[in-house]
């Protein structure tokens, strides 16, 4: 019985709740801005490749 009461009063799960909320927000942002994020990453990679090709060894 004491173990059940201790489990109910335990607040260590709050960290998990916060983590889940952060993940939900990030997933929502990716769902909303996924295309823009993908385009940005592609442009950055293309720019890096162009700059790397312009360097002479």
Task: Give residue limits of the domains in the chain.
Answer: 15-54
Round to whole Å and give the CA distance between 34 and 16: 25
SS3 57: coil
pLDDT attached to residue 9 = 73
* Residues 28-40: tens digit of each pLDDT: 998 999 899 889 9
pLDDT attached to residue 11 = 66
- In eight-state DSSP terms, residue 8 is H
Tell me if the pTM is above 0.75.
no
Round to whole Å and give the CA distance between 4 and 17: 20
User: What are the CA-CA distances from residue 7 to residues 14, 16, 19, 20 (Å)?
Assistant: 13, 15, 20, 20
Average pLDDT over the chain reads 85
């Amino acid at each position: 019985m004491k173990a059940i009461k201790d489990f109910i009063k335990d607040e260590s799960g709050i960290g998990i709740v916060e983590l889940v909320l952060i993940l939900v927000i990030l997933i929502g942002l990716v769902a909303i801005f996924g295309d823009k994020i993908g385009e940005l990453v592609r442009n950055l990679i293309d720019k890096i490749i162009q700059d790397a090709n312009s360097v002479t060894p």
